[in-house]
Amino acid sequence: MADLSRLGRLPCLIIGRAGMDLYADPPGTPIEAATRFTSALGGSSANIAVALTRAGGRAALLTCVSDDAVGRFCLAQLDAYGVDRSLVRSAGGEARNSLAVVETRMENCQSVIYRNHAADFQMSLKDVEAVDYARFGALVTTGTVLASEPSRAACFRAFDLARAAGLPLIFDVDYRPYSWASAEEAAEVYSRAASLCDVIVGNDVEFDFMSGAKGQGLAKARSLTAQITVYKMGEKGAITFAQGQEIRTGIFQTATLKPTGAGDAFLGNLIASLAQGAPVKEAVLRGSAAAAIVVSRVGCAPAMPTSQELDRFITFHSGPTA
């Protein structure tokens, strides 16, 4: 069993993509009607790194970006947010950075993702084998990393190396069907990853998918041997399995602008809270509060709250739903 107390002593190493998000502006504008867009750092792993850093933690990103202006935009944004990008490699050739064109609205919200020749999928065994894992408190990854080679094999190799160095493994299921050759392949790979990890976070749809049968996601979450498994249920809150307990928590109601970014905010603040010594239930609630803040703001990375903003929100909010 990995030592989760490492989280409080050392920065987290996060594997996965950094991309550019383009938001139709002003908020509420459909993409097809937009005449202007605002740019922001995106990509689930980069968003998690920003969430963790803004919450008072430290994070380094391990990935590849394209060797062009968009890749350089991502590097500059990581610098601006205080994320260590010394392990980010620029990939040349036909590799292109992930690009998301997104709307800020709740109903029929469109998010168009461009992932052709994705640069982050170029992460290799050489990239992960060059890391000094003893420098880090945990290895964090999302399911997107596992969708293609050579990134998949590199990620599993990183799991082995991190485990040998005593790091806990943290896994956000983050299932994106468009990235995978088939649902069957994804379910098999995700189940393999989940069997190795110490903290697993996913929503009810993702756990259903991992179980291979609709309606069996909760049973799948219960069956996992991770130290902490968080089964998120949207507006119904979450069930967390930890230390032989089932902990049920609600959500913080807010006036939502858009549905994106909540999961990244949740995981980043869950990790930061655990690193600061919070009990599991409190860490889950702080993650839920951060998610509520992010969906009420434009963007993902720029919407992540600071620890002071999160404390203030929790203090003055009426509290989570039952």
> Which DSSP helix (H) or strand (E) runs through 173?
none
- The sheet carrying 99-102 orders its strands as 37-42, 19-24, 99-102, 111-114
pLDDT tens-digit readout, 94-135: 999 999 999 999 999 999 999 989 999 999 999 999 999 999
Residue 295 lies in a domain: yes
Residue 94 lies in a domain: no
- Predicted local confidence at residue 157, as pLDDT: 98
Residue 280 lies in a domain: yes
Residue 298 lies in a domain: yes
pLDDT at 197 over 80: yes
Residue 28 lies in a domain: no
Q: How far is the first Cα of the chain from the last one, in angstroms, to the nearest whole number? A: 32
Residue keyed to tokens 């689930």? 44
Give me the number of domains the chain comprises: 1
Q: Which amino acid is at 68?
A: D
Residue 117 lies in a domain: no
Assigned token pair, 154 = 């590199």
Q: Single out the residue of 34, 180, 178, 176 nearest to residue 102, CA to CA.
A: 34
CA 154, distance to chain mean position in Å, is 18
Residue 35 lies in a domain: no
- Predicted local confidence at residue 206, as pLDDT: 94
Task: State the residue range of the domain holding 310.
Answer: 4-17+44-87+125-316
Assigned token pair, 58 = 């430290």
Whole-model pTM over 0.75: yes
- Predicted local confidence at residue 101, as pLDDT: 98
Assigned token pair, 88 = 């980010």
Residue 111 lies in a domain: no
Q: Which amino acid is at 221?
A: A
The answer to whether residues 120 and 100 touch, using CB atoms and an 8 Å cutoff, is no
Q: What is the CA angle 272-274-280, rounded to 5?
A: 130
pLDDT tens-digit readout, 145-172: 999 999 999 999 999 999 999 999 999 9
- The sheet carrying 169-172 orders its strands as 84-91, 59-66, 12-15, 138-142, 169-172, 199-203, 228-232, 238-242, 245-249
CATH number at residue 143: 3.40.1190.20
pLDDT above 70 coverage of the chain, percent? 100
Largest CA distance in the chain: 53
